[in-house]
Amino acid sequence: MSELVENGITLLREKGLRVTEQRKAILEVLASADSPMSAEEAFAQLPSESCDLVTAYRCLEQFEKINVVQRGVRENGTKVYCIGHGHDHHHHLTCRNCGRTERIDLCMGEELEETAKSFGFVEIAHVMEVFGTCPSCV
Amino acid sequence: MSELVENGITLLREKGLRVTEQRKAILEVLASADSPMSAEEAFAQLPSESCDLVTAYRCLEQFEKINVVQRGVRENGTKVYCIGHGHDHHHHLTCRNCGRTERIDLCMGEELEETAKSFGFVEIAHVMEVFGTCPSCV
DNA sequence: ATGAGTGCAAATAGTTTGCAAGCTG
DNA sequence: CAGCTTGCAAACTATTTGCACTCAT
C-alpha cells in the first residue's frame, strides 16, 4: 500500500471518519493515478464492484473536507480530485483533446490569499486549471 | 447602449455571426452585471421572454468562441461568463456564501503559457477562480 | 432565398438526496 | 450497539441535441 494511501487512512482516523474497504480502494486508485480524476473515472478504475458510484462521490467529498485530496475543475466544469494535497499544492496542464496531463508547480496562492484578505475575505481557496492541445494532438 | 455591447455587436458582425434581438439582449444583461454570471442567471435577467434558455446557452457559447465574453467556472463547476474580455483579462474572488464578487487583477497567464509551451502544448487557456467567505458572511 | 439562429421537447452528464440495511469503532 | 457508511432508486442541476420553423443578411 502506497504511502499516500497510508497517510490518507491515518487522516481519516484522526478526523474520526471510518476506514472502510471502499474508502481504501478509492484512495488506492487515486494514489496510482498520475493526474486528477473525476468521481466517475475513479469509480471506473476500482476493482470490479468494490463500491457504488454514489459511494465514490460521497467518499471524495469527505476526503476533500479533511484535505486528503485536492479538488479541481475541468474546463467543462467536471470536478476532479487528486490525492496528496497538503503541503504539495500544485496545478495541472491538460490536453483538451486526449486528456494527457502534466503537473505544473506554478502557483500564486500566497498573492491571492493576500489580495483576498485585503477585501476582508477569509477561508480562501482557489481553483486553477490550464488547458491546451498537446504535441501529439496538434 | 453601453460601449461593451456595441463592441460585442461589432465583433459579431466581423466574425460573420448574425446580430439578433436575443443576442443584443444577452449582451446588455452581461454588460450591466458587475460579476460573472451563469447562463441561467443571465437568462433570468432578460426582459420577460426575450429568448429561450437554450438560446442563452447557445449565444454564450458563440460569444466565448469569438472572445466577446470570457468564461470561468464556479467552485461547484457551473460555467460563468463576463463581458469585456479581450485585453482585459482578469479573475474573480467570489464569496461562497452570498456570491459577492470582487475583481482580481492578479494573473500568471504568461508564466503559464511559457510553461505549457515548454511541454509542447499550444492554444493555452486557463481557468482560475478564487473563493472565500466575505466579511458580511463570516 | 438561404442558411444561421431560434424555440420547444427531450436527452445527457454529473452530482445529490432519501431511506433501509450493513459494518466500523 | 450506536451511528457512520453503503447501496439502490430516484431526483436534480446544468447543459446539450434534434428538428422544424423563422429571420437577418
pLDDT tens for each residue of B112-131:
999 999 999 988 888 788 88
Pairing of strands B69-73, A122-133: unpaired
pLDDT value of residue A114: 95
Q: How confident is the model at residue B81 (pLDDT cuts 50, 70, 90)?
A: very high
- Cβ within 8 Å, pair A131-B125: yes
Question: Is pLDDT larger for residue A70 or for residue B40?
Answer: B40
Q: How confident is the model at residue B78 (pLDDT cuts 50, 70, 90)?
A: very high
Q: How far is the CA of A17 from the C1' of D7 (A)?
A: 19
Residue partners of B54: CB distance under 8 A and separation at least 6: none
Residue B22 has pLDDT above 60, yes or no: yes
Nucleotides of D under 7 A from a protein CB: 4-10, 13-18, 23-25
Domain boundaries, chain A: 1-86, 89-138
Residue B65 has pLDDT above 70, yes or no: yes
Residue B43 has pLDDT above 90, yes or no: yes
- Cβ within 8 Å, pair A120-B102: no
Each residue's pLDDT tens digit, A10-60: 999 999 999 999 999 999 999 998 788 999 999 999 998 899 999 999 999
Name the class of domain B89-138.
alpha beta
Say whether the CB atom of B13 is under 7 angstroms from strand D.
yes
pLDDT value of residue B5: 96
Between residue 28 and residue 47 of chain A, the positions with Cβ below 7 Å from nucleic chain D are none
Each residue's pLDDT tens digit, A80-129: 999 874 556 788 888 877 778 888 988 898 999 999 999 999 888 887 88
Residue B93, strand partner residues: B102, B130
Nucleotides of C under 7 A from a protein CB: 4-10, 13-18, 23-25
What are the chain B neighbours of A125 within 8 Å (beta carbons)?
Answer: 75, 130-132
Question: Is pLDDT larger for residue A1 or for residue B86?
Answer: A1
What are the chain A neighbours of B111 within 8 Å (beta carbons)?
Answer: 106
Rounded CA separation B112/B124 (Å): 8
SS3 category, A70: strand
Pick the CATH number of B1-86 from 3.40.50.1970, 3.20.20.70, 1.20.120.420, 1.10.10.10: 1.10.10.10
Question: Is pLDDT larger for residue B18 or for residue A77?
Answer: B18
Residue B49 has pLDDT above 90, yes or no: no
- What's the pTM value of the predicted model, to 2 decimals? 0.83
pLDDT value of residue B45: 95
Residue A131 has pLDDT above 90, yes or no: no
Residue B64 has pLDDT above 80, yes or no: yes
Contact A59, A23 (CB under 8 A): yes
Q: How far is the CA of A3 from the C1' of C11 (A)?
A: 43
Q: Which of A77, A128, A134 sits opposite B128 (nearest CB)?
A: A128
Pairing of strands A69-73, A79-83: antiparallel
pLDDT value of residue A87: 59
* Cell matching residue B112: 503559464
Residue A107 exposure: Cα atoms within 13 Å on the Cβ side: 19
